[in-house]
Chain A
Amino acid sequence: MTRFAMVIDTRTCIGCGDCVVACKTENKVPAGLNRDWIVEATSGTYPNLKTEFRSERCNHCSNPTCVTLCPTGASHLWQDSNIVLVDADKCTGCKACIAACPYDARLVMHPDGYVDKCTFCHHRVEKGLDPACVSSCPTRCMHFGDLDDPGSEVSRLLATRSWKVLSPETGNEPNVYYLT
């Protein structure tokens, strides 16, 4: 099984939002909906403040509760990897998967009634390309690759830098990593 991961460097991200625009353009995401977004987290008390920018999206978890709880098999894993996709032809719009995501991140309701989500741009990954958000990042703070390959850029970054994932205590084993 290939374990695709995204590694995002919060120290070089400037929160410009290009990843959001690239995703909307590449995937023709309907107006008013977004598959990714930027969080600007400021902590501390003035004047000792620290700001962290995070580009967030579906975590393509290794233990995806959205796939487990889907009653029809519409939520599924792509080609023996951890990329979580939704088959619109099997989706009843019951919304169980939306409730099943601890990150409230995974899915948005497409105007046509089925559940839509970040695909890690599997149509690009298939051709050996990076997801649109990664390839459009002007500061090159986003990295994409296979964590099961110890020589990949993402593996090397995680081996050499300090990192975190969002709410690891959910047990979902998310695969979007943030370098800190």
Chain B
Amino acid sequence: MEELLVTARSNALIDPGLHIWTWEVAMYLFLGGMTAGIMVFAAAMTLLNKDEEAPLATTQLALLGPVVLSLGMTTLFLDLEHKLFVYRFYTAFMPLSPMSWGSWVLVFIYPVSLLQILSTLRNGYPRLAVYPDRSALGRRVLDWCESNRRSIAMAAIPFGVALGIYTGILLSAFSARPFWNTGILGPLFLVSGLSTAAALVALAARRHGERLMFTRIDLVLILVELALVALFLINLSTGSGVQIEALESIMGGPYTLLFWGLFIGAGLLVPLLLEVLELRGVSMKVVLLAPVLVLLGGYLLRQVMLDVGQESTWTQYPSQYNAELLDRLHR
């Protein structure tokens, strides 16, 4: 039994527990993951020649990529404390810092994504394509993109995967945060990002066949995500002392309901059940509920990981004041 008294330490953001990152970062992790999924599905559908069966995913989805990513980067920017110095991410490349890799990946995502959009603009958005088609240069650019559509799609997949996986690798690289310090986080975030993008297509698709196709894809992704969450839990529960301690936050601790009830329950299991019922042809008045819940689950995964992870620590200064001891004096 050890009692600690710490004087002169109440540093903002660090004491009593680390709380440096809030919803802004969770939102970026969510939207960044979704962008990754958008790029990967738009590219995969192109490579599989699904123009007829999945017109939304093949020709229109890509346009959402830069939009969603820009929203995410805006919330990420809001989190920076030294905003004027944001350009400093691009005056250095630090090979050992996943955050540096990520910031450079983001720079390449935009042009790749733009090429993806241009290669399907005439098919997906004929009204928008009118504008570049007015000039000779615009026509040549669109023609070039269309004739290289498959190559662009093949390039988009690795960039999408890099965007989807790096956020997980970034968190897992913090050896100082036991809850994050597992390699499962990269694949988990990637699969969750793909799942939220599939849900987005299921939500937006007008063609019944396309919605069913993406419901099926999402079903598989949810199952993979559940398996990865299981591996994550096995990894931490059989890990070092600090990891076992960190896990208590979601095993009876303050984040138990958020993790099990909202993320696992409402965000994975309920949509899984709804999707199974939909695919079995059970008439559902609320077919849109499943993808909405998947999107919610995708956000909650980031939020709960961020909250529990930053609080998990090697260094604890517990109980500086124990009211029970005073009570004993009065007796």
Contact = CB atoms under 8 A, between A and B. Distances in A.
Contact of B12 (A33, A89, A94): A33
Interface residues of A, number: 52
Contact of B13 (A45, A68, A90, A95): A95
B310 A39 contact: no
A154 interface: no
Contacts, number: 158
Contacts of A72: 88-89, 91-92, 94, 100
A123 B88 CA distance: 25
A34 B10 CA distance: 8
Contacts of B94: 70-73
B286 interface: no
Interface stretch (A3-11, A101-109, A140-148): A101-109
Interface in A112-133: 112-114
A39 B6 CA distance: 4
A65 B175 contact: yes
Interface string B1-16: 1111111111111100
Contacts of A92: 80-83, 85-86, 88-89
Nearest to B102: A71
Interface stretch (B152-160, B244-252, B312-320): B312-320
A70 B80 CA distance: 14
Contacts of B314: 102-104, 167, 170
Contact of A93 (B85, B98, B99, B174): B85
- The secondary-structure label for the interface of chain B is loop
Contacts of A104: 14, 18, 313-315
A44 B99 CA distance: 44
Interface of A: 15, 17, 20, 32-34, 36-45, 65, 68-74, 88-96, 98-105, 107-109, 112-114, 166-167, 169-171
Given A36-B8, A90-B91, A99-B20, 11 more contacts: A33-B12, A34-B9, A39-B4, A41-B5, A42-B4, A43-B2, A65-B176, A72-B91, A93-B85, A95-B81, A108-B14
Interface of B: 1-14, 18, 20-21, 79-83, 85-86, 88-89, 91-92, 94, 96-100, 102-103, 173-177, 240, 310, 313-315, 317
